[in-house]
Structure 1
Amino acid sequence: MLSDLQVKNFALINQVNINFKQGLNILSGETGAGKSIIIGALDLLLGARASTDIIRSGKEAAYISAFFQPDELELINQFLREAGIETEENGILIAREIRENGRNRTLINGQLATLKIVKKISRYLIDIHGQHEHQLLLNQDYHLMILDAFIGQKIAEHKTEINKLYQSLKEIKQELAAVAIDESERVRELDMVNFQIEEIETAKLKAGEYKNLKEEYKVLENGEEIYQVINEFINVLSGDEFSKQGIIDRLAALKNKMLNFNEYNEELSALNQHFNDIYYNLEEFIFELNDFEAKFDYDEDRLKLLSQRLDLINGLLRKYGDSETEILNYLTELYSKKNRLENLEEKLVQLQKKENEIKSKLLVKAADLSRIRQNYAVELENNLQTELQDLAMEDVEFKVDFSEKNIAADGIDRIEFLISPNRGEELKSLVKIASGGELSRIMLALKTITAALDQVDTLIFDEVDSGVGGKTAAKMADKLSQIAVGRQIICITHLPQIASQADHHFLIKKEKGEKRTFTRIYPLAKTERIEELARMIGGTRMTDKTIAHAEEMLNLAGNFKVKQGG
């Protein structure tokens, strides 16, 4: 049950606090007073798309909060705990703040929450039924949803199984679409894969090869210059045919002379040791130069081979990867692709077999679901026809028409509601022939039937009386009063017949302040209710006759409630 609603800086509302109770709560007021603003605020609170246009002019933010005490509190609290939100023992407080700067906030029990969570729990809190929902009856797809809602949990497992099978079927179809290429394209693709495999395998690549080859190529490419420098080094250090004595020989003579001074002075001894180290290092360097010169072989044929090998590897790198490892990994992928292409026909047969198996299971399950729907459709027809007779549609005939559609996530049934508004007329599509008043009554009748099945104990009707009047309005009022027994109904109406049945009546009034217009809501006492009913009966002109009529309507409504035990 919705206990308290607070709305602040929302459209024409400056601030209102409404305390709703169990039973039939009626909201009435003159046209333009802002009756539907309350429903709009609740709709927004429970997850509707927000716009800064709803913020009262001159204010930074609009604020809506509501305290609920639902029958399904423990079920909702379990979900909230799983979402990491602390729960309260006596109810749920939901608040939403819409700010000009776009930094909107949603809170549950004072803690930040997402609209997704609010939408998840809202179906256990309130069922809002407005004029737009009448129009849903003009959408044939909605007819199946109504029938399934009437059947309820009895088909929940069937629908879950069918949906799972349908999703599996979609996945198989996607696989088939990916596999089902024509034979000429398969052959072309296989030829390309084989060519690439051969090109990579022929190269016989090794990891790290490219780096080593590039180093060797640079050395050979500059071999002549390198050889000349090495040879010059050796000649200068060791001597050549023109200079019999090299630097190393002259240094050796000096080294021997320095030996004589070792015992004279410690500093000279240290210098001599330092020089010895340099001499022996230089001697070692000469050995290494000679060794390199002996091994060095400037081979033009080898250089040519290296150039060709590097060109080959560079070509592969441009095509298949940035390194030998990447190319070899790509080769593995090519083998997998080759295997897939070579076994494509077998894969296609397997997928088609699997598709047929799933489709067969799906059709069997869908047929079972269809039989259940058709059985309950008869019950819905009878129940709805009874309810419509109570709403002054005695001669109407109602039927749920079944036709078959392509298999879908909800089965194979295409449902359409047919009616014959007058005795003797043939059944025709509700979508094509129903008037606004008939749609209102049909939807109310459906709500009456499904109310006992609903998990929510608060139903909201926004001008469900659109297009009706007279005796029909009285019948509709009785029907709303019946639905309100044991639950909470909040109803916006312009009809005195419906307002007279209120257990709690609120007047929505637009008032002018010194500078601005604003909307206020007043709970009405009995005397005030008589005045409001008289206004609804006679308009702005209130007479003794309209007041007497209003008193009579209240008395009749009271008697009706006594009879029904309300």
Structure 2
Amino acid sequence: MLTQLYIQNIAVIERASIDFGEGFHVFTGETGAGKSILIGAIGAVLGFRVSRDLIRTGAEKAMVTALFERLSDETCSALSALGYEPEEDGTLLLSREFSAEGKSSCKIGGRPATVSILREVADTLINIHGQHDNQALISPERHIRFIDSYAGDGELLAQYRQEYAKLCSIKQELEKLNMDEVEKAYRIDLLTYQIDEISSANLKAGEEEELLEQKKQISNSAKIIEAVGQADLAFSGDDENEGLVAMLDSARDALSTAGRYYADLEGMASRVDEMYYELREYASDLRRCASEMDFNEGDLDAIEARLDTIYKLKRKYGASVEAVLDYLGKSTQELQSINRSEEMQAKLEAQLAQTAYSAQKLAEALSEKRREAAKRLTEAVGEELRFLDMPFVRLEVKSEIGALSADGIDDMEFLISTNPGEPLKSLSKIASGGELSRVMLSLKNVLADRDRVGTLIFDEVDTGVSGRAAQKVGLKLKQASHGRQIICVTHLAQVAAYADRHYLIEKSVRDGRTFTDVRPLDRSGRVSEIARIIGGNEVTDTILSSADEMLRFAERQVDK
């Protein structure tokens, strides 16, 4: 259950803190006051996509936090699976902060989280049903989702989809094998040529780098020999000049002699002695390296030719020797597959038949479960609709069997007749806006019994409804709040009258800036607000009296 919502710098809401409780909550206010902004803020903390335009003008960042109590077992399980846990007092705090630069950060219980993790947890806490949900009712291809939800066939549907995906994969493999003979012969010739061309080159991983190093050495052999000679001369000297080794030998002898008489020089003599032997070793290594050098400029042509071969292969088959070798491996495997195509085809066709049979059986089981659920669902929704002032409504599901698809073999659509003697027709062709709203509310009410989410939010789900039907919608929402928390944004006085808690969203201008405030109303405030909804700008004593009577009537209805 949502117990507190804190909003900062969301559109025209600079700062708002809203406390919630049990039962039925309504938000009302003038058009444009910010009711949709409130729903957007709740959606943000639930992990929905957020636009930068949602951040208040002039603010660098915005923030929304939501505190929940009485967490369900599903929420606790989801938290545990994701590595989170509630506070010691059983509460859970979700928060989301986002900046004008598009950066976003989420937290669950004070710990960092991703948007997807936040959304996964939030799905067990709140369901938001907005006006756009009615679009699902006029899209027949989406009707099967409602039936699946009521049937509780998620596990069976997942099994079927896994088998169907396997079936599609096998079909794709078969399509690759079932190429015509001309294409097959062409592919065999091409692969054979490519394999022979690469194989005959006898490429080795790292070969190109070694050849380039050899080429660099041979091309610069004169410079290398000259430099090595100069270094050797510096180390060992010649007939005219004493080398570093000899000079350091003289220095160490002198320091050794002096050290016998002057103790401070003993350490220096020891270090110079070490330097002497190390330098002599360097000189010896240099002479050995020079003796092993073998720069044959005749090898340069062979190296250039080899590099040219590698370059041509790379241009055709990959950006490196390793990539060319990888291409060779894949081509060899493909050629082997084509040569074994008849054997593989027979094997795949056997797998295809077995998988198709399994998928068909799962689809049939899923279809049977859906048809049974569809009958129960339409009966339950019909009862709800009759309560919502649609006494002659008939709701059925047209079900047709087709080929296997990602959703099974069923093509299902809700059909409705709202008046006696009228035939059943598609919802999109016969239902008005108000009727669609009532059908959606009825569906949500029936499906809510299958869903343990503790909080349901309805964003103007009563659009297009008026009069006695609106009163019935309010009563139905009130009844639905028994055992769960209902939050509703409404523009109908009849709905607002049934609320346990009523909040006013109002906009004002201060110092040239627009501000939206959210405040709870006491009974007197509720009477004034309901009167405003009824009468608009002209609120008379008669309208106030009517508003008070509307509240009293709602209270009496609830007490029955």
How high is the TM-score relative to the length of structure 2?
Answer: 0.77
Following superposition, the deviation at residue 190 of structure 1 comes to 2.4
- The correspondence of residues 438-477 of structure 1 with structure 2, limited to 5 A, is 438-477=435-474
Match of 2:427 in 1: 430
Cα gap change, 1:82 to 1:365, in 2 (>3 Å) = closer
Could you say which residue in structure 1 is the equivalent of 2:87? 88
1:59/1:402 CA distance change after superposition, 3 Å: same
Corresponding residue SS for 1:453: coil
Partner amino acid, structure 2, of 1:559: R
Q: Using a 3 Å threshold, how does the CA distance of structure 1 residues 198 and 71 change in structure 2: closer, same or farther?
A: closer
The letter of the residue matching 2:168 is K
The match for 1:547 is: 544
Deviation at 1:496, TM superposition (A): 1.2
Q: Deviations over 1:331-361 (max 9, x none)?
A: 7766544432221122122212211221121
2:150 corresponds to: 150
Q: Does 1:66 align with 2:66?
A: yes
Does the 8 Å contact 1:125/1:458 carry over to 2?
A: yes
Is the contact between residue 28 and residue 490 of structure 2 (CA under 8 Å) also seen in structure 1?
yes
- Which residue is equivalent to 1:265? none
Name the counterpart of 2:40. 40
1:269 counterpart residue number: none
- Does structure 2 conserve the Cα–Cα contact (< 8 Å) formed by 1:46 and 1:119? yes
Cα separation, partners in 2 of 1:210 and 1:504, compared to 1, 3 Å: closer
Contact 1:158 1:369 (C-alpha < 8 Å) held by counterparts: yes
Identity of aligned residues (%): 40
Residues in 2 aligned to 1:323 and 1:92: alpha-carbon distance in whole angstroms: 54
Kindly tell me the number of residue pairs found equivalent between the two proteins: 471
Q: What amino acid maps onto 1:362 in structure 2?
A: A
Aligned to 1:79: 78
Measure the CA separation in 1 of the matches of 2:434 and 2:56.
34
Q: Do residues 372 (structure 1) and 394 (structure 2) align?
A: no
Specify the alignment match of 1:175 in structure 2: 173
Q: 1:160 corresponds to which residue?
A: 158
SS at the partner of 2:542?
A: helix
Q: Distance in 2 between matches of 1:532 and 1:111?
A: 41
User: Shift in Å at residue 83 of structure 1?
Assistant: 3.2
| Runs of 5+ unmatched residues, structure 1 | 212-302
Q: 1:308 to 1:532 in 2, by over 3 A?
A: closer
Secondary structure at the aligned position of 1:480 is classed as: helix
Paired amino acid for 1:518 = F
Partner deviation per Cα, 1:435-469 (whole Å, 9 max, x = no partner)? 11011000011111112111201111111111111
1:234 aligned partner: none
Quote the offset at 1:504 in angstroms.
Answer: 0.7
Is the contact made by 1:127 and 1:458 (CA closer than 8 Å) also made in structure 2? Answer: yes
* Bigger Cα Rg: 1
Whichever residue aligns with residue 555 of structure 2, its letter is: G
Q: CA deviation at 1:77?
A: 3.7
Question: Which residue of structure 2 lines up, in the alignment, with residue 503 of structure 1?
Answer: 500
Name the SS for the 2:544 alignment partner.
helix
* Alpha-carbon distance in 1 for matches of 2:323, 2:496: 79
Q: Tell me how far 1:203 sits from its aligned partner.
A: 8.9
Distance 2:44 2:327 in 1: 55
**Cα pair distance change 1:553/1:184, threshold 3 Å:** same
Change (3 A) 1:513 1:166: same
Aligned residue type for 1:30 = E
Measured at CA, do residues 479 and 207 of structure 1 come closer, stay the same or move farther in structure 2, by a change above 3 Å?
Answer: closer
CA-atom RMSD, angstroms? 3.3
Identify the residue that residue 183 of structure 2 maps to in structure 1. 185
Letter in 2 for 1:487: R
For residues 407-422 of structure 1, the aligned pairs below 5 Å read 407-422=404-419
Single out whichever of 467-476 and 187-196 deviates more from structure 2. 187-196
Cross-structure match for 2:25: 25
When residues 346 and 406 of structure 1 are mapped into structure 2, their CA distance, relative to the original with a 3 A threshold, is: same
Q: 8 Å contact 1:13–1:56 — kept in the other structure?
A: yes
Q: Contact 2:198–2:313 at 8 Å: present in 1 too?
A: no
CA distance in 1 between partners of 2:478 and 2:377 (Å): 22
**One-letter code of the match for 2:349?**
Q
Moved more, 422-431 or 178-187: 178-187
Distance change in 2, residues 1:495/1:346 (3 Å): same
CA displacement at 1:313 relative to structure 2: 7.5
Q: Tell me, in whole angstroms, the C-alpha distance in 2 between the residues paired with 1:207 and 1:314.
A: 13
Structure 2: stretches of 5+ with no match in the other structure? 210-297
Please state whether the residue corresponding to 1:363 is helix, strand or coil: helix
Within 5 Å, which residues of 2 pair with 1:222-241? none
TM-score (norm 1): 0.76
Distance 2:391 2:462 in 1: 18
